Amino acid sequence: MTGSPHLAEGDTGLGATDCLANSLYGLDRWGHDLLSVTEDGDVGLINPLQPDHPHVSLPQIISDLKERGVHTPVLLRVSSFLESEIRRINESFAEAIERTGYKGSYRGVFPIKVNQQAQVIDRIVEFGRPFSYGLEAGSKPELVIALAHRLPKDALIVCNGVKDAEFIRLAILSRKLGFNTVIVLESAKELETVLEVVQELGEEPLLGVRVKLANQISGNWAESSGDRSSFGMNSDQLISVIDRLRDEGLLHCLKLQHSHLGSQVPDVNDVRRAVGEACRYFAELKREGVALTHLDLGGGLGVDYTGEKKATENSVNYSPEEYCANVVETVGYAMDEAGIEHPTLVTESGRAVVATSSMLIFDVLEATHYDAPTAPEPQEGDHHLIPDLAAVHGYLSEERLQECLNDATFYRDELRALFRRGYVSLREMARGEQIYLHLMARIKALAPKVETTEEVDAQLEKLADIYHCNFSLFQSLPDVWAIDQIHPIIPLQNLNTLPDRRVVLSDITCDSDGKVDRFILADGISPSLPVHSLPENEPYYLGVFFVGAYQETLGDLHNLFGDTNVATIDLRDDGGFDLLHEQEGDTISEVLSYVEFDPRDCVDVFRKMVDEAISAKNLKASERKLLMSAYRDSINGYTYYE
Ligand SMILES: *Cc1c(COP(=O)(O)O)cnc(C)c1O
C-alpha cells in the first residue's frame, strides 16, 4: 500500500509535465531512455539510438494507425527499441572483454521461445549480424525456424531441450550448410540417440553438455535452477557421458558447456555465484580432457519492470552492463586460477533482448464509478436509514473522516439487508445507494488531506473505479494472470493534468480473473492506477509496457478473443514514424477454426435455419439478406470491440 490512495480534487501541486509522469508513475525510473512526456502531455517514444531526435507521440501513432485501419487493441513493436537492446548486450560484453583483458570473445544467441514471431526473429537476425549473434532452439519447430535464416558464418545455433533422432539428424546435417549447430546433451539417454544417428550418418556432431548447477537463484523462476530443476546432468551423469564419448572416440566433439542460470534473476550476486560454479565444472571437464571451447551461461538477465532497482520478483538490482561485466570478470578470474585458456562466452538472454520492444495499447470502453457527484434527497416515507445516511453529510469533516466512513457503510449495509428481506423498495434502495456513493466521493476527496489509517486506505481502495478495457488479459498479458507479473501501465495522454480518478482495470472477457489490480507507481506497488475521468467524445488510451517477452505465444483464446492487431514501426528522425509491417489480428472465423469449427459450416447451418424460418412464415423473405449479412459481418470481423 502506498500512502493515501485517493487524489485531492483540484490538487495541482506539480509543475512541469515530465514531473507529473515521474512523480506519480515513476516513468523516469522504469521508462528512462525509451519513454518521455511531450509538451502536449502525450507519452513520447525516444529513439534510443538517437535520443536527441524529437520524441514521437504515442497517441499520435495510435491515431495514425487507426486512420490506416489498424484499430486498438494493438500490439506495437518498436524496431529501434529492439535494435538498441541487441546492441546493448553485445556491446556491453565487448566493452567488458576489452576493459578486463579477457582473451575470449562473446557469441550470444537469442532463445526463440521468448518470441517466435517471424517479424521479431527476422529483425533479431538482421540487427545481430554485425555481432555474429545466433539463435537458440529448444524444440524441433524452433530449429526449423533457425535453419531458415542466413546466419553469419561464426554465429551459433544452440539446440537445447528434449531431442529425438529426427531433431538430432537435422542438427548434424545442417553443419553441411555451414551452420554451427550445437547439440546440447540433456541426459545420458539422449547421448545414445546421438550415437545412433552419428553411426547412421557417418557425420560428426558438434556437442554441448548441460550441467545442472546446485546454486539456487531467487525470484519467480527459482525452480528453474538448482538441484531439482528439470534439465541438465549432475556430476555423476556427466562422468558417464564423458566416459561414453571417450569410448566412442567422440570426446573431441564436445565443445560447449551449458549452464542455464534461470530466468529474471533478481540479484546480481546470484549471477556471480552461479557463474562461479559453472566455471568449476568447466575447469574439471577440461582436466578430464574434454576439448571445451565455449561456456554458455543460458538466460536469466532480468528486466527491471518496476524500475525499483531491487532484488525482487519484478525488478533486478543490476543493469545489463553490470551483468555482462560480472560474467566476464567472474569467468576470467576462475579460468586464470585454473590455468585454463579463456573460453568463448555464450549467453541466451531472451527477456532482456525483447521485453522492452513491444507495448500493448488499448482503449477504455466505459467506467463503473464507486462514487457519485450528487445525491438525491430522502423522501417522505423513506425508511429512517436513508435520512440517517444523508445526515452523515452534515458532520463529515477531516477530523471525523473515519467515523463517517464507518457510519455510512453501516447504514448502507443495513439498508441492503432490509431490501433483501422485503422491507425496503427498489426506489428507496437506489436513493440510499446514491447518497452513500456521494458520501464516498466527498470522503475520497478529503482523504489525501489527512493522515489516514491503513484500514481507511483499504476501504477506499475497494471504492476504486473500474475501467472496462478493450483487451484480453489471457491473450495479451498471460503472465499478469498466471504469475502476478507486473508491467508498467500508464495513460498515454493528458499527462500534463493531474489524474482525478483511481481505477482497477477489467478486460473484455467474461472472467472475473480478467483484471489488473497491481500497478507500479513512483512510490511502489499500488492496488489502483491514477487516471483521468473519461473524456466525452474521444478515446482514452492506456499502454502496457515491456510485453515483448513470452506474452505473445503464452496467451490463450479465453472467450475466443484472438491475437490483436500488430504493427511494427520505426521511429523517424523528424518525430514521425514509418509503418514497417502490419499484421491483422485474428478474425472470428480464424478463432473458430482454431477450435475446430468450420466457419463455412457455421454459415450453412445458420442459412438453413433462416430459410426454414422463411418457409414457416416466421421471417419475411426480404429479411434474409439482413440476417445473413449480420452473421457474415461478424464472422469476418475482429474479435475485439470495434
Ligand atoms: C527460456 C530459456 C532462456 C531464456 O531465458 P531469459 O530469462 O528469457 O533470458 C535461455 N535458455 C534456455 C535454455 C531457456 O530455457
- Nearest-atom number in ligand 1 for the CA of 298 is 11
pLDDT of residue 478: 95
Q: Is the CB of 263 under 6 A from ligand 1?
A: yes
Q: Give residue-wise pLDDT tens across range 364-385.
A: 999 999 999 999 999 999 999 9
Q: Is the pLDDT of residue 192 over 90?
A: yes
* Ramachandran angles phi, psi of 560, nearest 5°: 60, 30
Note whether 167 and 159 are within 8 A (CB): yes
Q: pLDDT tier at 425 (50, 70, 90 boundaries)?
A: very high
Q: How far is the CA of 404 from the centre of ligand 1 (A)?
A: 53
Q: Is the CB of 350 under 6 A from ligand 1?
A: yes
Q: Angle 401-421/454-461 helices, nearest 10 degrees?
A: 50
Dihedral (C-alpha) 538, 540, 546, 551: value to the nearest 10 degrees?
Answer: -90
CA–CA distance, 17 with 583 (Å, rounded to integer): 34
Q: pLDDT tier at 1 (50, 70, 90 boundaries)?
A: very low
Terminal-to-terminal C-alpha distance of the chain: 36
* Lowest-pLDDT choice from 9-23, 249-263, 324-338, 418-432: 9-23
CA–CA distance, 144 with 157 (Å, rounded to integer): 11
Note whether 599 and 635 are within 8 A (CB): yes
Q: How far is the CA of 626 from the centre of ligand 1 (A)?
A: 52
pLDDT cut 70: percent of the chain above it? 96
Q: Is the CB of 41 under 6 A from ligand 1?
A: no
Q: Is the CB of 301 under 6 A from ligand 1?
A: yes
Q: Is the CB of 113 under 6 A from ligand 1?
A: yes
Report, as an integer, the average pLDDT of 280-289: 97
Q: Is the CB of 300 under 6 A from ligand 1?
A: yes
In 3-state terms, what secondary structure has residue 360? strand
Distance between alpha carbon 100 and the CA centroid of its chain, in Å?
35
In sequence order, the 6+-apart residues with CB closer than 8 A to the CB of 411 are: 385, 388, 389, 392, 432, 436
- Alpha-carbon dihedral sign for residues 267, 271, 273, 274: positive
CA–CA distance, 497 with 132 (Å, rounded to integer): 47
Report, as an integer, the average pLDDT of 574-595: 95
Q: How far is the CA of 350 from the centre of ligand 1 (A)?
A: 6
pLDDT of residue 17: 52
What is the chain's alpha carbon radius of gyration, rounded to the nearest angstrom?
Answer: 30
Beta carbons within 10 angstroms of residue 499's beta carbon? 19
Query: Given this structure, which CATH class describes domain 385-448?
Result: mainly alpha
Where exactly are the structural domains of the chain? 20-78+358-369+464-583, 104-349, 385-448, 590-635
Whole-angstrom CA distances from 117 to 145, 322, 378, 548, 580 are 10, 29, 60, 10, 15
Q: Is the CB of 161 under 6 A from ligand 1?
A: no
- Nearest-atom number in ligand 1 for the CA of 550 is 8
Whole-angstrom CA distances from 48 to 56, 78, 601 are 12, 11, 50
Q: pLDDT tier at 7 (50, 70, 90 boundaries)?
A: very low
In sequence order, the 6+-apart residues with CB closer than 8 A to the CB of 525 are: 2, 306, 486, 518, 519
CA–CA distance, 79 with 281 (Å, rounded to integer): 39
Q: How far is the CA of 299 from the centre of ligand 1 (A)?
A: 4
pLDDT of residue 304: 97
Q: Facing residues of 36 across strands? A: 44
Q: How far is the CA of 108 from the centre of ligand 1 (A)?
A: 12
8-state DSSP, 187 = S
- Spell out a b/e string for 42-53, using b for 16 or more CB atoms within 10 Å of the CB, else e: bbbbbbbeeeee
CA–CA distance, 171 with 159 (Å, rounded to integer): 8
pLDDT of residue 12: 39
Q: Is the CB of 320 under 6 A from ligand 1?
A: no
CA–CA distance, 363 with 467 (Å, rounded to integer): 10
Q: Is the CB of 111 under 6 A from ligand 1?
A: yes
Query: Given this structure, which CATH class describes domain 104-349?
Result: alpha beta
pLDDT of residue 448: 82
pLDDT of residue 18: 56
Pairing mode of beta strands 358-368, 465-469? antiparallel
pTM for this model (two decimals): 0.93
Q: Is the pLDDT of residue 130 over 50?
A: yes
Dihedral (C-alpha) 551, 553, 554, 557: value to the nearest 10 degrees?
Answer: 110
Q: Is the CB of 260 under 6 A from ligand 1?
A: yes
Q: How far is the CA of 347 from the centre of ligand 1 (A)?
A: 9
- Nearest-atom number in ligand 1 for the CA of 263 is 7
Q: Which of 110, 136, 225 to mutate to test the pocket of ligand 1 (most atoms within 8 A of CB)?
A: 136
* Ramachandran angles phi, psi of 603, nearest 5°: -65, -45
Q: How far is the CA of 262 from the centre of ligand 1 (A)?
A: 7
Q: Is the CB of 501 under 6 A from ligand 1?
A: no
- Homologous superfamily (CATH) for 20-78+358-369+464-583: Lyase, Ornithine Decarboxylase; Chain A, domain 1 (2.40.37.10)
Note whether 186 and 211 are within 8 A (CB): no
Q: Is the CB of 316 under 6 A from ligand 1?
A: no
CA–CA distance, 337 with 284 (Å, rounded to integer): 12
Place of cell 539510438: 49
Q: Give residue-wise pLDDT tens across range 40-89.
A: 999 999 999 999 999 999 999 999 999 999 999 999 999 999 999 999 99
Note whether 442 and 396 are within 8 A (CB): yes
Q: Is the CB of 298 under 6 A from ligand 1?
A: yes
pLDDT cut 90: percent of the chain above it? 89
Q: How far is the CA of 101 from the centre of ligand 1 (A)?
A: 28
Q: Where are the beta strands (DSSP E) in 268-308?
A: 294-296
pLDDT of residue 391: 97
pLDDT of residue 575: 87
CA–CA distance, 430 with 426 (Å, rounded to integer): 6
Long-range contacts of residues 384-392, Cβ cutoff 8 Å, at least 24 apart: 385/411, 385/414, 385/415, 385/418, 385/424, 385/432, 386/415, 386/428, 386/431, 386/432, 386/435, 389/415, 389/432, 389/435, 389/436, 389/439, 390/435, 392/439
Residue whose C-alpha is closest to residue 363's, from 547, 585, 542? 542
Q: How far is the CA of 148 from the centre of ligand 1 (A)?
A: 21
Same fold, 104-349 and 385-448: no
225 compared with 316, residue with greater pLDDT: 316
- Nearest-atom number in ligand 1 for the CA of 160 is 13
- Closest C-alpha to ligand 1, atom 10: 299
- Spell out a b/e string for 587-603, using b for 16 or more CB atoms within 10 Å of the CB, else e: bbbbbbeeeeeebeeee
Q: How far is the CA of 556 from the centre of ligand 1 (A)?
A: 21
Q: Is the CB of 225 under 6 A from ligand 1?
A: no
pLDDT of residue 134: 98
Q: Give residue-wise pLDDT tens across range 439-479.
A: 999 998 898 888 888 899 888 888 999 999 999 999 999 99
pLDDT of residue 169: 98
- Nearest-atom number in ligand 1 for the CA of 258 is 13
Q: How far is the CA of 344 from the centre of ligand 1 (A)?
A: 19
- Nearest-atom number in ligand 1 for the CA of 224 is 15
Q: How far is the CA of 356 from the centre of ligand 1 (A)?
A: 16
Kindly tell me the burial class for residue 34, based on how many C-beta atoms sit within 10 Å of its own C-beta (0-12, 13-18, 19 or more): buried
Cis peptide leading into residue 535 (ω within 30°): no
Distance between alpha carbon 53 and the CA centroid of its chain, in Å?
28
